[in-house]
Structure 1
């Protein structure tokens, strides 16, 4: 079926956009580190899987939880990393929203998260 054949479209006008799909409910709201870790696991490869992290850690701070991974040591520590970058996951304590921040040390990642929130608010 082409766009012009859709029952809700009008010939000669641009195609009707697809219907908006709202979230089905609120994001899960973590109340402790274990719940934050369960949410954070959804955003990382399985721990111990090939190419996956060796462990996941949770760092609680005033308004959220930072979930970050540790990776196994490379066989050749002098070789460049196979994959550059990476992300940490922040889960808000107030609404459960998940935000990705660069793979910085916890204190720097939390500081960046605060800056992101400040920019969103202005």
Structure 2
């Protein structure tokens, strides 16, 4: 399946990330950024692929690792995208759970993740 065939894809915009794979047992718990990045690669199109990200970045914080993609610049930077699309992925340092978040800047995504974890704990 090409990126343009994937449901929710829009030509000219970053491809929709692949769906999260079903859980089949305990999730690996990353102990460093490199391990988190390996887990995170499964949730984004291949780096450098047509329509894929140019890089994946890891932002470590107290209870997880935020993985976010870097995309090539828009052909016309003066025109805002019709749908910014994309997402961030957080891998928990506690249990390895993978959570998709909106494509917010890292600080906002981490804040949202903390809020979600606090709500689920109550």
Normalised by the size of structure 1, how large is the TM-score? 0.77
**1:54-102 deviations in whole A, cap 9, x for unaligned?**
1000000000000001100012112332642221000000110000111
* Partner of residue 11, structure 1: none
Q: Secondary structure at the match of 1:81?
A: coil
Q: Which contiguous aligned blocks of 4+ residues in structure 1 show a shift greater than 3 angstroms? A: none
* Partner of residue 107, structure 1: 107
Deviation at residue 119 of structure 1 after TM alignment: 0.8
Kindly report which structure 2 residues correspond to 1:69-88, keeping only aligned pairs within 5 A, or say none. Answer: 69-81=69-81, 83-88=83-88
Distance change in 2, residues 1:114/1:47 (3 Å): same
Rounded to whole Å, the distance in 1 between the matches of 2:55 and 2:105 is 15
Higher relative contact order (CA 8 A, sep 6+): 2
Distance change in 2, residues 1:46/1:62 (3 Å): same
Figure out how many residues of one structure are paired with residues of the other and give that number: 101
* Partner of residue 55, structure 2: 55
Rounded to whole Å, the distance in 2 between the matches of 1:64 and 1:51 is 28
1:30 aligns with 2:30: yes
Larger radius of gyration: 1
* Partner of residue 13, structure 1: none
Structure 2 gap segments, 5+ residues each:
1-21
Give the CA RMSD over aligned residues: 1.6
1:94 aligns with 2:94: yes
Structure 1 gap segments, 5+ residues each:
1-21
